């Protein structure tokens, strides 16, 4: 596909994705407006949905702009020496409310002492956040998500494993594409923007790292990313 066609296709997909929350917002507000006799409980339910859909719309716009910055090369990296273990521990409390709603426990395992790595902490935090919110979304209730950190001479290896139903084999690579949805999902969104994994992949690649997904033998999906420990070792 020529560059223009790729851009057109992306633009079409984005507008398509924007139309969906806009549809709910328009329909629900029109109904509240046109039906003065609507019971209060119904009105509250509809307006709460309007608020959620407006939030989804702004999240989507933020994500699209973020991705555009990465893809156009406008996003620079601010490298710092970071303890990955500490970065993860600091991030987990933000995810607790989401995890607790599903009674999901998040365990962290270190297979060896993890050396500090040179990376952009705020961007890597976004990757963890995206992968962990995804894992929680697809994890069954009362299950465990396992984070593993390991290091070799030059690389950090980070993985996140859930106990969900896994990813269809044919989708393992496609899930990093923008707006891709695996066919075994029965309910679409509304939580995600469909861009989280595409953004995560871009961030890891900007660090000269790699990311992929696989299904673990016990069932469940596992996302693994490798990052060079120092900028020069990449």
Partner 1 sequence: MPAKKILVVDDDPYILMSLEFLMQKNGYAVIVARNGTEALQLVQQESPDLVLLDIMMPDVDGFEICKFIKEHPTLKQVIVVFLSAKTREADQRKGLELGAAKYVFKPFSTRSLIKEINQLLQ
In the complex with partner 1, the residue whose CB is nearer, 108 or 184, is 184
The correct pick among 188, 205, 210, 219 for binding partner 1 (CB under 8 A) is 188
Query: Least separation, in Å, of the C-beta of 13 and partner 1?
Result: 10
In the complex with partner 1, the residue whose CB is nearer, 15 or 96, is 15
Closest CA to 133 of 86, 191, 190: 191
Residues 40-79, mask of contacts with partner 1 (x by CB under 8 A): --x--xx--x--xx--------------------------
Residues 5-24, mask of contacts with partner 1 (x by CB under 8 A): -------x--xxx-xx-xxx
Distances 201 to 97, 131, 223 between C-alpha atoms, Å: 26, 11, 11
Kindly identify the residues of this chain, within the stretch 118-147, that bind partner 1 according to CB under 8 A: none
Query: Least separation, in Å, of the C-beta of 71 and partner 1?
Result: 23
Contact 49, 28 (CB under 8 A): yes
Whole-angstrom Cα distance, residue 144 to residue 206?
Answer: 30
The correct pick among 4, 5, 34, 170 for binding partner 1 (CB under 8 A) is 34
Query: Least separation, in Å, of the C-beta of 60 and partner 1?
Result: 13
Q: Which is it for strands 210-215 and 221-228: parallel, antiparallel or unpaired?
A: antiparallel
CB atoms under 10 Å from CB of 113, counted, come to 8
Whole-angstrom Cα distance, residue 15 to residue 166?
Answer: 29
Q: Is the peptide bond before 147 cis (omega within 30 degrees of 0)?
A: no
Contacts by 107-112, CB closer than 8 A, 24 or more apart: 107/144, 107/145, 107/146, 107/147, 108/146, 108/147, 108/148, 108/149, 109/146, 109/147, 109/148, 109/149, 110/85, 110/148, 110/149, 110/150, 111/148, 111/149, 111/150, 112/150, 112/151
In the complex with partner 1, the residue whose CB is nearer, 24 or 146, is 24
Q: Using the structure block, give the residue that is written with the tokens 């600091």.
A: 90
In the complex with partner 1, the residue whose CB is nearer, 19 or 102, is 19
Query: Least separation, in Å, of the C-beta of 23 and partner 1?
Result: 4
In the complex with partner 1, the residue whose CB is nearer, 27 or 144, is 27
Residues 158-187, mask of contacts with partner 1 (x by CB under 8 A): -----------------------xxxxxxx
Interface with partner 1, residue 189, by CB under 8 A: yes
List residues binding partner 1 (CB under 8 A): 12, 15-17, 19-20, 22-28, 30-31, 34-35, 42, 45-46, 49, 52-53, 181-190
């Amino acid at each position: 596909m020529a560059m223009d066609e790729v851009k057109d296709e992306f633009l079409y997909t984005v507008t398509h994705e924007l139309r969906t929350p806009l549809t709910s917002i328009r329909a629900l507000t029109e109904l509240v407006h046109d039906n003065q006799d609507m019971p209060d409980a119904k009105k509250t339910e509809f307006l709460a949905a309007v608020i959620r859909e407006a939030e989804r719309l702004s999240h989507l716009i933020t994500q699209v702009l973020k991705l555009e910055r990465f893809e156009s090369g406008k996003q620079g990296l601010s490298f710092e020496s970071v303890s990955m273990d500490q970065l993860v521990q600091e991030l987990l409390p933000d995810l607790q409310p989401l995890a607790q709603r599903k009674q999901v426990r998040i365990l962290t395992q270190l297979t060896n002492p993890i050396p500090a790595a040179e990376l952009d902490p705020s961007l890597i935090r976004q990757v963890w956040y995206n992968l962990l919110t995804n894992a929680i979304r697809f994890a069954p209730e009362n299950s465990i998500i396992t984070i593993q950190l390991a290091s070799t001479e030059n690389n950090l290896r980070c993985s996140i494993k859930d106990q969900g139903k896994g990813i269809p084999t044919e989708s393992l690579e496609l899930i990093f594409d923008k707006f891709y949805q695996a066919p075994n999902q029965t309910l679409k969104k509304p939580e995600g923007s469909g861009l989280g994994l595409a953004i995560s992949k871009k961030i890891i690649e900007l660090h000269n790292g790699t990311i992929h997904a696989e299904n673990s033998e016990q069932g469940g999906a596992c996302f693994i990313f490798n990052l060079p420990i120092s900028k020069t070792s990449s």
